[in-house]
Amino acid sequence: MKSSPRRLRRFCAAAVAAGVLVGPALAGAAYGAGAIPLPPPSPPPTTAPAGTGFRQLTPAVAAELDSAVRRVMREAGVPGVTVGLWAPGKGSYVKSFGVADKATGAPMAAPLHVRIGSETKTFTVTALLQQVDRGKLALDDPIGKYVGGVPNGDRITLRQLAGMRSGLFNYSLDADFDKKLLADPERSFSPRQLLGYSFKHGPQFPPGARFDYSNTNLVLLGLVVEKVTGRPLHKVITRDVLRPAGLHGTVFPTTAGLPAPYAHGYTDQTASGRTEDATAWNPSWAWAAGAMASDLDDLRSWARTLATGTLLKPATQAERLKTTPMNVPGAGYGLGIFDVQGWIGHNGSIPGYEVLPVYLPQAGATMVIVLNTDSRHDNQEPSTLFGQAVTEIVTPAHVYPSHGQLAPRTG
């Protein structure tokens, strides 16, 4: 079956409630110097703010959630999913459904690692913003100051790249890239190869003119981080972001392997069009935009750290949270982060897996959804379907996403 660039558009989902995209690239640079240690994140509040609109997670509400999750699983054909909800003063709900491995029937479970797709973008942009805090770069610097050969490189700023307003073509929509990846999903790509697929198309619109989700933006930002730190991106994120945030189950892999224990992932983004096990697919093509892996507990912690800006100076976090309109009502995109109906965070999708870790400041509440497929149902990301079903029950005033598809299918 001939591959279609439309199919790969959902690789590495990212931007908003419906799943946005995927991002790639390996690394390569001169590596050196150490990083400034950062303090650990502050503990979560012990009581919920009054009038948050978050329902008490009673046994009756838990039963509603069980029913809703099973319904989405059945309708969307999802093998396995774990749903976690935590709200101060309201209780918690953590439950796994279905299987982590179709071949063995092993059950889905909260401790299992999964690939997190475009949630990786939140880590890459955090690493970039830390360099802003250290005076190593400025958000309004042009990308051409750090990376040569970028179309409009003298005009596109780092802020526009992080905010998905650069106008650069998304390499994961390129037909040649699509063909090569589907022909050999275990092959390795370099960041420069990925940029080549983008740059042959030229700019799509003037810098800053509008929102357009592109994995190309994050590959460039990953290269910027490497340039200013003198270290490989995976080492920067591990030392400067993961360790200070206390995330011990999250990794930026440099191979196709997943840390054990892990859930197998299943996708219909294949050359044949049939659903296949994508667990061993090489995520190098998603590099700074989507290559990382994590587990439920770490995603819970990270959702709050990301939304509250623990690892950044308050002024830098304020810049991050300044959103610009997307293509759906009630949703805005900041710098590697979104606000959808009050839920702050980022979703992620890559062949075989999807995650949705988000934080609702009004309630001090966190929602994390982890599943082992990215195959769509009625053109909707399954993580979005679960997010909407869950929030319709627990936060009816903040339903995620309460609208249709937000962006092209791209992981």
Question: Regarding predicted confidence, which is higher, 1 or 78?
Answer: 78
Q: Is the pLDDT of residue 81 over 50?
A: yes
> Of 15-29, 89-103, 203-217, which gets the smallest average pLDDT?
15-29
Residue positions annotated with a catalytic role: 118
Q: Is the pLDDT of residue 27 over 60?
A: no
In this predicted model, what pLDDT tens digit does every residue of 268-287 receive, in sequence order? 999 999 999 999 999 999 99
8 A C-beta contact, residue 367 and residue 360: yes
Question: Regarding predicted confidence, which is higher, 32 or 381?
Answer: 381
8 A C-beta contact, residue 62 and residue 93: yes
- For residue 392, CA distances in Å to 65, 69, 397 come to 10, 12, 8
Distance separating alpha carbons of residues 130 and 133, to the nearest angstrom: 5
Please state whether beta strands 348-350 and 266-267 pair in parallel, antiparallel, or not at all (unpaired).
Answer: unpaired
Q: Is the pLDDT of residue 12 over 90?
A: no
**Helical H segments across 82-202, by residue range:** 120-133, 158-162, 175-183, 191-199
Q: Is the pLDDT of residue 386 over 70?
A: yes
Question: Regarding predicted confidence, which is higher, 22 or 269?
Answer: 269
Bridge partners of 213, per DSSP, are: none
8 A C-beta contact, residue 186 and residue 256: yes
> Of 5-9, 120-124, 152-156, which gets the smallest average pLDDT?
5-9
**CA geometry: angle 176, 224, 333, nearest 5 deg:** 75
In the numeric block, the tokens 């909707």 are attached to 380
Predicted confidence band at 396 (pLDDT cuts at 50, 70, 90)? very high
- Tokens in use for 347? 């979703």
CB atoms within 10 A of CB 2: 7
pLDDT computed for residue 402 by the predictor: 53
pLDDT computed for residue 9 by the predictor: 43
pLDDT computed for residue 406 by the predictor: 42
pLDDT computed for residue 30 by the predictor: 24
The DSSP code for 284 is G
pLDDT computed for residue 244 by the predictor: 98
In this predicted model, what pLDDT tens digit does every residue of 30-78 receive, in sequence order? 222 232 222 333 333 333 444 568 999 999 999 999 999 999 999 999 9
The DSSP code for 83 is E
What is the pTM (predicted TM-score) of this model? 0.89
Average pLDDT, the chain: 88
What residues contact residue 116 under an 8 Å CB cut-off, 6+ apart?
290, 292, 293, 294, 299, 348, 350, 353, 355
How much of the chain exceeds pLDDT 70, in percent?
85
In this predicted model, what pLDDT tens digit does every residue of 352-368 receive, in sequence order? 999 999 999 999 999 99
pLDDT computed for residue 52 by the predictor: 65
* Residue 155: exposure state from Cβ atoms within 10 A (0-12, 13-18, ≥19): middle
Question: Regarding predicted confidence, which is higher, 221 or 34?
Answer: 221
Stretch 174-191: mean pLDDT: 96
> Of 43-57, 181-195, 306-320, 358-372, which gets the smallest average pLDDT?
43-57
Question: Regarding predicted confidence, which is higher, 347 or 36?
Answer: 347
